[in-house]
C-alpha cells in the first residue's frame, strides 16, 4: 500500500507528501488531529487535513512567529501564547533570557498530548517557565487580569475553532491584555490563497485601527500552501525596525546557545518587505 497525504488550496492545487504510517488519528471535540510518519519530513501533524508542522520544517514557522515579536519588545518577561499546543512556539520564546513566564492557552488537550508523545523534540515541556492551560484562548484573553508583555496567536486556520482569532473583538481584547510596551504577533495565512484574503483584510484592518503600529511580514514555509506564509506584527509603539530592536537582535542571538536555522538579523528586517501583490491584498 502506498500512502500519501494531500492538502488542496486554490481548487485542486495542493501539496502531496509521501506517508509511511499513520501514527495517530482522532476526531476531538474541536477538530481532527493526525500524526503521520512521512518519507522525508520526519513526523508531521495535520489538523482538519491541513499541515500544522513537520519535524523538518517547523523551525521556520516557530522562529518567525516568536523572535520578531520578542526582539521588538524592550524587555519581554510575561508572554501569552494562544494555541501553540505542539510546543514549538513556547520553545523559541523561552530562549529569550528576559522571559520569566510563558502561559500557553490551548483549547484542545489532544494536541498537547499527541505532541508530547509523537513530537517530543518540538516542545521544551520540562522548562519551569512554561505554564500550560487547557482553555478557550478567546475567553482567556477577555479575562486577562495581569497584562502581558507579548501575546502570540498561534492558532490554526480561520475555518474551524480558530475562526474567532481573526476577529476584531479578539484583536481588541489582546490590546487590552497587553502592557504599555506590548507586542503581538499572529499567523495570518498564505497570501497566495484567495479564500484567506477576506480573513487577512479583516485582521489587518482591525490591527491598523486598534494598535499604534501594525505590519505584515512573510516567511518561506515549504509545507504550507504555496510556500509563502504571512504573519501580523502589532504593538503599542514598539517598532521592529528601530535601531534599538536591531541592537537587541544582535546582542540577543548569541545568548541562544545554538544557532537558529532560519531567523537572523537580516531576516528580521527583510521579512517586512512585501511583494506588490501582497501589499495590494491588505
Residue 8 in contact with a second copy, rule: CB under 8 A: yes
What's the closest the beta carbon of residue 263 comes to a second copy, in angstroms? 7
Nearest to 185 by CA among 217, 159, 226, 208: 217
269 binds a second copy (CB under 8 A): yes
Q: How many helices (H) and strands (E) does the chain have?
A: 9, 12
CB neighbours of 25 closer than 8 A, spacing ≥ 6?
32, 33, 34, 35
Residue placing its CB nearer to a second copy in the complex, 9 or 30: 9
Does the annotation count 266 as an active-site position? no
- CB of 59 or CB of 118, closer to a second copy: 59
- Residue 21: closest CA among 41, 8, 4: 4
Of the listed 121, 154, 169, 195, which one is catalytic?
A: 154
Please give the Cα distance from 150 to 127 (Å, whole number). 19
By beta-carbon proximity to a second copy, the closer residue of 23 and 260 is 260
Residue located via cell numbers 499567523: 187
Q: How many CB atoms lie within 10 A of CB 13?
A: 11
Q: Interacting stretch for a second copy, rule CB under 8 A, among 159-167, 232-240, 242-250, 259-267?
A: 259-267
Question: What part of residues 15-54 is at the interface with a second copy (CB under 8 A)?
Answer: 15-18, 38-41
**Positions marked catalytic:** 154
By CB under 8 A, name the binding residues for a second copy: 4, 6, 8, 10-18, 38-41, 59-60, 192, 218, 220-222, 226-228, 259-264, 266-267, 269-277
Amino acid at each position: 500500500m502506498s500512502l500519501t497525504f494531500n492538502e488542496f488550496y486554490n481548487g485542486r492545487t495542493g501539496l502531496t507528501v509521501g506517508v509511511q504510517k499513520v501514527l495517530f488519528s482522532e476526531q476531538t471535540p474541536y477538530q481532527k488531529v493526525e500524526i503521520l510518519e512521512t518519507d522525508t519530513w520526519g513526523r508531521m501533524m495535520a489538523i482538519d487535513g491541513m499541515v500544522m508542522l513537520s519535524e523538518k520544517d517547523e523551525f521556520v514557522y516557530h522562529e518567525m512567529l516568536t523572535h520578531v515579536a520578542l526582539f521588538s519588545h524592550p524587555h519581554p518577561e510575561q508572554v501569552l501564547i494562544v494555541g501553540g499546543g505542539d510546543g514549538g512556539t513556547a520553545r523559541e520564546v523561552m530562549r529569550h533570557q528576559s522571559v520569566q513566564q510563558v502561559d500557553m492557552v490551548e483549547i484542545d488537550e489532544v494536541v498537547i498530548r499527541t505532541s508530547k508523545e509523537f513530537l517530543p523534540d518540538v516542545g521544551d515541556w520540562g522548562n519551569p517557565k512554561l505554564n500550560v492551560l487547557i482553555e478557550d484562548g478567546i475567553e482567556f484573553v477577555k479575562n486577562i487580569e495581569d497584562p502581558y508583555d507579548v501575546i502570540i496567536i498561534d492558532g490554526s486556520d480561520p475555518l474551524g475553532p480558530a475562526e474567532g482569532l481573526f476577529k476584531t473583538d479578539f484583536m481588541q481584547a489582546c490590546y487590552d491584555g497587553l502592557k504599555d510596551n506590548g507586542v503581538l504577533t499572529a499567523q495570518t495565512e498564505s497570501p497566495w490563497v484567495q479564500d484567506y484574503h477576506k480573513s487577512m483584510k479583516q485582521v489587518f484592518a482591525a490591527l491598523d485601527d486598534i494598535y499604534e503600529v501594525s505590519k505584515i511580514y512573510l516567511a518561506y514555509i515549504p509545507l504550507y500552501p504555496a510556500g509563502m506564509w504571512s504573519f501580523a506584527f502589532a504593538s503599542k509603539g514598539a517598532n521592529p525596525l528601530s535601531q534599538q530592536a536591531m541592537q537587541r537582535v544582535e546582542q540577543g542571538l548569541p545568548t541562544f546557545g545554538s544557532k537558529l536555522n532560519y531567523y537572523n538579523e537580516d531576516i528580521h528586517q527583510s521579512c517586512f518587505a512585501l511583494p506588490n501583490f501582497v501589499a495590494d491584498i491588505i
